[in-house]
Amino acid sequence: MSFFKNRTMLGVICIVLSLLICFALTPLFNQSAAQKTTIVRVVKDIKAGDAISKDMVKAVEVGGYNLPDNIVRQPDTVIGKYAKADLSPGDYILSTKLTDVPAAENAYLYNLSGGKQAISVSIKNFAEGLSGKLISGDVVSVIAPDYKKQGITVIPPELTYVEVIGVTASTGYDTDTGEQSKDEEEKQLPATVTLLVSPEQAKILAELESGGKLHLSLVYRGSKENAAKFTDLQDKLIKALYPATEEQEAEQKHESAPQQEGAADFENIAPESEGE
């Protein structure tokens, strides 16, 4: 008799549970699945390292059920950031696929403030670029054989101390940042060196590049503070060799007045730096 009572009780419990699922849990689930939320969706191909612009993304409404917690919901939080991975039209954007800074291989190009420029020069043979040993942050001198067809080899005063900001292989990958192509098992030799220069220095480098004759010699490698002593001294000489016009001086009045250093004395001056 107790067996039948237990079976009856079990049946009642099953009926109660089924009613609870049908009339309580299922409506809640359907309501949750039907609830809409706004997310950011990709509408154009975005490559890793690209800066995301307004026309690349769109805000859309989708069902809010089972979306990742780190999905991006507002376009304003995406625009201006950089993609860490390739994104295709229709993809949702996760915060883990975004970064505030550009890829390491070209980050230095985003730090230009307008006062100086980046220019690349070719390394046509192994010796010209210090046998592939140059890295970002090095201070180098540019040696010009047969300078201006005069039959003499000189270091132009304008190019005595120049900062290296990038070393790039023929594949387009920088050789000193670890961003080399995974398909390349061996380290690629540098094909170009990118230098941070003034407009006056850029013109001379362009002439040397056109003539196909220049060598780079390493002057200093070490802390940024000590490297700045060399480049600051070079900047003073540039100001002395190319005095600013009255109009340019008016634009730069918030800066300190250029110090007039003699070009002849400059050749025998080197900043004191602490050993690394």
CATH of the domain spanning 36-99: 3.90.1210.10
209 class by beta-carbon count within 10 Å (0-12 exposed, 13-18 middle, 19+ buried): middle
Task: Output the pLDDT for position 229.
Answer: 94
Task: Output the pLDDT for position 251.
Answer: 60
**The 3-state secondary structure of the chain, one letter per residue:** CHHHHHHHHHHHHHHHHHHHHHHHHHHHHHHHHHCEEEEEEECCCECCCCECCHHHEEEEEEECCCCCCCECCCHHHCCCCEECCCECCCCECEHHHEECCCCHHHHHHHHCCCCCEEEEEECCCCCCCHHHCCCCCCEEEEEECCHHHCCCCECCHHHCCEEEEEEEECCCCECCCCCCCCCCCCCCCEEEEEEEECHHHHHHHHHHHHHCCCEEEEEECCCHHHHHHHHHHHHHHHHHHCCCCHHHHHHCCCCCCCCCCCHHHHCCCCCCCCCC
Instruction: Single out the residue of 242, 240, 243 nearest to residue 267, CA to CA.
Output: 240
101: Cβ contacts below 8 Å, ≥ 6 apart:
82, 107, 110
Task: Output the pLDDT for position 201.
Answer: 94
Task: Output the pLDDT for position 205.
Answer: 94
Q: Angle 245-238-108 (CA atoms, 0-180°, nearest 5)?
A: 110
Provide the residue type at 209 as one letter.
E
The CATH 3.90.1210.10 portion of the chain extends over: 36-99
Residues of the chain scoring pLDDT < 50? 1, 3-4, 178, 180-185, 255-263, 275-276
User: Is the separation of the CB atoms in 40 and 53 below 8 Å?
Assistant: no
Q: What is the CA radius of gyration of the chain?
A: 32
| Per-residue pLDDT tens digits for 175-218 | 765 454 444 445 677 889 999 999 999 999 999 988 768 899 99
Predicted TM-score (pTM) of the model is 0.56
d(CA 196, CA 159): 11
* 68, two tokens: 């990742």
